[in-house]
Structures are given as structure tokens and as C-alpha cells.
A and B are shown apart, each in its own frame.
Chain A
């Protein structure tokens, strides 16, 4: 079935540095990918919709200059957390939609990235 690979699975970075998270669709092409953030004991919060070849669409309250999204190819979207601060520490999850519909109508999630900013 559709597979989404997310890398790295965990990362620790110093405050003020930038971190890049990759999301790849391994066996399908994804024109649209989604980025979520999840704080402990909370639900997933949609941050942005990543569109191949165009600008990402950010949800209200999400700073586009802080969370840079690039979707340069049909199989790769990246999320860069710029000038990270401890409050950015969270679990980041990507999702890609297989346009072929598959049995689950396309929404496959990555395994997530645990970001800790120290």
C-alpha cells in the first residue's frame, strides 16, 4: 500500500538553529501533502497544506516565515523550523494523499518527528 517516509524520527537542536524535516511518498506521487504538529496529550493540529510547485497554504495562527515548507517534487515535501525555540518542541507529522485513491482514499501518515529544542 501507500507508504510515507518521514525523516528524521527524532532530533535535538539548540535554540536559535534551524531544523529540516523530510516527508517522502515512496510508491506514489503526491501533489498535496499536509503537515501537523502535536503537543503532549493533545490532538493533531494541522499546520499547513503543501502543494507541489506552488506555495504552501498555512492554517490560521501558523507563522509561515517560521515554518518554511517546500514541495519541490511530487514525492518530497520538507518542513524547516527556523530559529527554533523550546516552545517549538513538539511531534511533527506529515501526511500525503495518494491521488489514485487506494482503499483508504489516500491519506497516509508518516511516523512523525520528535523535535526537542534545548
Chain B
């Protein structure tokens, strides 16, 4: 699975949009981009995933560049409860037993 690069930390003001970038320049054509987050001392929580097209759900939006070498997770209106470590992971969705390998992630601090 391709490697991802994320900034170690970011701050965001409460109520504003949080934009978390991820570089995955070695991504292959059949690999998906997944985003998870981990709130302190809890298990990771799924946020969103995508292949080529931009995706949106009730939690966030995922913007994937046309060359697929990078993506951005957008939390449209960040709240204090969104403070967490956000992980961008690239893997084959079709793999039935494929494992998720976590990088260092981005620690997002939402401030009042």
C-alpha cells in the first residue's frame, strides 16, 4: 500500500472549516484513500473514503486531486469535539483481508 504524508499538527478555530491535507504521491490506480480519526484514548473512527471523485457525508468532505497524488479532508464547521488525531490511509479496498497501516497522522486542535 502507498505511503501517506501528513502535517504533524494543525489548529482550527471553532466554527470554521478545518482542511487537513494528505500527500500520497505513489498511490496506484486501484487504491482508495481512507480517513480515520482517533480521539484521545479511544479506538479509531471511520470518517470517509474515496477513489477518484470527491465524496461527502454527514461528517466531512473528501477532495481528491485529479492526479490522485493528494487529498484534503474538510470538516465544514469544526467543533471542540473534533479535536483528535486524523489519519489518512491508502489501501486496496478490494482486498478481503487487507490491513490498515497507520502513519503518524495530523493532530487537529480546535480552539474556542
Contact = CB atoms under 8 A, between A and B. Distances in A.
Contacts of B46: 104, 107-108
Contacts of A6: 43
A95 B49 CA distance: 17
B100 A110 contact: no
Residues of B in contact with A, size category = 20 to 34
A109 B99 contact: no
B21 interface: no
Contacts of B104: 43
Interface string B83-112: 001010000010011011111110000000
Nearest to A99: B96
Max chain A C-beta neighbours (<10 A), residue from B45, B87, B102, B104 = B102
Interface in A18-33: 31-32
Contacts of B97: 31-32, 49, 51, 97
A93 interface: yes
Contacts of B103: 43
Interface of A: 4, 6, 31-32, 34, 36, 43-46, 49, 51, 91, 93, 95, 97, 99, 104-105, 107-112, 114
16 contacts: A32-B96, A32-B97, A36-B102, A43-B85, A43-B102, A46-B99, A46-B102, A95-B44, A97-B97, A99-B96, A104-B49, A105-B49, A107-B46, A109-B45, A111-B43, A112-B42
